[in-house]
Amino acid sequence: MEPSEIRDILLSVFVLGFIFSFNKWDSIEAGISNFFLTILLVGFSFLIKMIGHKYTADKYECRHKYIIWPQGLAFSLFATLLFNGKILFALSGFSAMSSSYFSRLGKKYVDLSFNEKGRIALTGPLFNIGLAVLFKMFEGLLNPEIVLDMVIINLTIAFFSLIPLPPLDGSHILSYDWTIWLMVISSTTTLLFLLRFANLLISFFVITPLVIAIFIFSQKYT
């Protein structure tokens, strides 16, 4: 990672950590403790998201870089203060993808196609969704509050990444295939409610659309 990308990720994690821990300031001590714990959880979630993006980017022999979106992050922070933390926004940044003649030797086109950009953009949110489901599966072995936080953090980050508004990842996914975008964002929205309030058995029956979306994605990917 470049120093500028590390800076953007750390700043995004810091602000999102404050947003996700906003309602946990019962006291100064508890607030500070919850704030730093949330930063760790958000940081781990960001790491998984970046691994997803960069893994697919490597497959296409191109570069992926996370870039902070100051306007989106400022809006998310303002909305948190305005609604007193009752409504969460996580508009933090987006994927920048680039290629070169040397990295794309043997490829038909040097520039990335809409399909390639869409697949790279899609992998990050899918990794976040998978991480949320994974934590829910091991709910009995982990701290219930941490499990709930990881579910909310990962699905919220995935949801806002999927919004089809340039420069967010969702705009690349929608240009790639609107059916995949629709299935993934609808599955994310449903899971955000079910994994938060229901047990995994009930949630399992709603994960099916997500599995279909991933299947279609994998078929097109190959």
CB 161 within 8 A of CB 170: yes
Residues constituting the chain: 222
Band of residue 222 on the pLDDT scale cut at 50, 70, 90:
very low
For residue range 164-206, list pLDDT tens digits in order: 888 889 999 998 888 888 888 888 888 777 766 655 455 455 5
Alpha-carbon torsion (67, 34, 159, 77), positive or negative: negative
User: The domain containing residue 38 runs over which residues?
Assistant: 3-221
45 half-sphere exposure, CB direction, 13 A CA radius: 36
Rounded CA-CA distance 149/40 in Å is 11
- Specify the number of domains making up the chain: 1
- pLDDT (mean) for 26-30: 82
Q: What integer pLDDT is reported at residue 101 of this predicted model?
A: 44
Per-residue CA distances from 154 to 55, 185, 192 (Å): 18, 13, 9
Band (13; pLDDT cuts 50, 70, 90): very high
pLDDT at position 211: 53
pLDDT digits (tens, 9 = 90+) for 108-140: 555 777 888 888 999 999 999 889 888 888 877
Residues whose CB is less than 8 angstroms from the CB of residue 81 and which lie 6 or more positions away in sequence, other chains included: none
